[in-house]
Structure 1
Amino acid sequence: MHDIRFIRETPAAFDAGLARRGLAPLSAEILALDEQSRSIKTQLQQGQARRNEASKAIGQAMAARDMAKADALKAEVAALKEGAPALEAQDKAVGDALTAMLAAIPNLPADDVPQGADEADNVEVSRWGTPRDFDFPPQDHADFGPALGLDFEGGAKLSGARFTALRGQMARLHRALAQYMLDTQTGANGYEEVNPPLLVRDEALFGTGQLPKFAEDLFRTTDGRWLIPTAEVSLTNLVADHIVPTDSLPIRLTALTPCFRSEAGSAGRDTRGFIRQHQFEKVELVAIAKPEQSEVEHERMCAAAEGILQALDLPYRKMLLCIGDMGFGARKTWDLEVWLPSQATYREISSVSNCGDFQARRMNARYKPEGEKQTRFLHTLNGSGLAVGRTLVAVLENYQQADGSVTVPDVLAPYMGGITKLEPR
């Protein structure tokens, strides 16, 4: 959600931000609705003030036995009262239209976000690790994974395309990765573990920006709730409609949850394998911060995600997303892309975004700076630390052996119950 005061005071700067997003100027249309809304509110306030004044005058006229004046005042109050519902309905209609318009506009990009149309224009920031030099042609996980417990057929039989069952040693490796990530983010990196609801109301998805624009990407239950596409929704909304104590900031939260996405916009992409599923698990990181803390938190969160890849010895690169590839609610995003030998390229495994006060305005999440009377909106950040399924794919492909087995990374040994290698069945 955007600050209407900012648009009033700096319409040219707002339109310039929209232009960087590839959108036409909207400040004039927004300000016209805003002016109409304020005019109607003024009429309502003036009408109420006049009703109060006339009601008081009625008593005075009756006390003075001036019945003609009293009757005239009564008629005026009745007319004001009769006209109020129409004005109130108009006020609501204009207010709803203004809110809907503001809610449909994406966040304005930070100044250092590069221009660009799509992922081809993203900027590489750094690389870590060296891709392994295989002495055999590396295989796609979709080809050798089934012998290790990736049951694509079983998952599809149960639920359809983009569902997979993990069995035996594969399920154990997946669980080990998830637990290692969660233990690292809570222990070494100081994020508070949360076990949040997986079903949320409309308001929660509106708050983080998935609704109303991206409803088709979500799964909805018959009672009107939604399955979360990411724990970002549940974690960030824990501060919705709150004035958060300043001394508790920044708040750092993490959760390991299933995530559910319809993948409506990904037809034909990653149809093989375990990369793009309707149901997957992810360790999510969320930070709630004061504005002056958010850039440092962004760096910190990205480092927390990178640390998992480094511990697993998985080569990756850090990308600064261009405006055309950046999400609706983000003002700046880094992607971490892990090396996949079968594709001989880097693929996204984590997105770490600073949303500024965009989500906080939608959620009405605030804090009161020390010594100030007025509250301010918080800044929110989110990132994957990491997507468990994609990390599983990266481990399988980078640690595969010529005989079809997969060596288990050393840091996962405590979670694997003595299993050091996944063997074909």
Structure 2
Amino acid sequence: MRDGAPVTGPSRLSTLAVHAGERHPNPDNAIVPPIACTATYTFRDTAELRDHFEGRVQREEYGRYGNPSVAAVERKLAALEGAEDCALFGSGMAAISSALFALLRGGQHVVLTADGYRRTRQFVTGFLRKFGVEATLVEPGDYEALAAAIVPGKTRVLLGESPTNPYMRVVDLDRLAAIKAQHRGSGLKIVIDATFATPVNLQPLRRGADLVVHAGTKYLGGHNDLLAGAVCGDAGLVGAIRDLRGMLGGVLDGHSAYLLHRGLKTLTLRVERQNASALRIAGFLEAHPEVERVFYPGLASHPDHAVAREQMRGFGGVVSFLVRGDLDRTSRFIDRCRVPRIGPSLGGVESLIEQPALMSFYELSTAEREAVGIRDNLVRLAVGVEDVEDLIADLDQALRA
């Protein structure tokens, strides 16, 4: 690891999180890769310029096309995912939208699961429709409906999240790969948003996915202080997406790349702690008289528990549950919590709690929310790294108050 070469091979995830993608010694002999805070790069002479454009040397040219700080994190994430390449973006939505733009054109078709991040569904079913891309939503776990929704010669993307937001459904990646194999030669691609899982808990590329997407804002950064997105996968696919990034401009800046790089160093430590705490909290909530139902893949009651046990190393740090009561009673419970803060994100060291009916679907009526699967008494808890006993005691007093 001291000879300047990136870390490769069968290194364990914690070692990869600390060392992968870093090149030592760097020009400043710094243990922390320096921040490249520049929008443009100069050339020594015209010969170097020619060498760059004719592919004889690899170097940066302009900030929209590359940055050394960004490139270091891309190498690290590629190693963590077992991917050939990774492209970073200014947000998770920039990552998923750029990937879909690169994979699709008018007249083609996407199949995606109905449970998932609202903005992704809106982008696919609304915005892409303006460009002639059709979409079919299927219920999570209904693989017969998913297979039936594929239109030969037209469907190009199977898009899913694992686990999903907010009901924590887990995609059976082996079944998805088997469905894709029935359409060999069609150009069909599997794209999985694994933000909730992280590479610590799930590596979709190893089970047949073509691309894996992350909102780096969440667990990868881990401290609620940056926006970032990532697409990992085959070098050819990622290269095409990176080229489109240079055109659309959804780049990550050097400072955010530095924060993301720092966060990745402790990724395995944080996620393992959040896995353990969330599992305990989910069990506590499931036994609580004031809780109607808990959605967590680590529980035997979850519909995808068997798949999660087979495919995941851990079950994640997000627990969703239904409080016994209506919209207002659920709001009062959330207001009584003292440890988790009320907020819309997840994956940071601080626990965050929200009522999706108000945080993400405020403009809809109760009937409209229920039509898209969001109950007024639904709560999503993103578990941080606080002492789990403190979190459980706080949830208990808020539920009983």
User: More relative contact order in 1 or in 2 (CA 8 Å, sep 6+)?
Assistant: 1
Could you state the TM-score of these two structures normalised by the residue count of structure 1?
A: 0.21
Larger Rg: 1
Could you state the TM-score of these two structures normalised by the residue count of structure 2?
A: 0.22
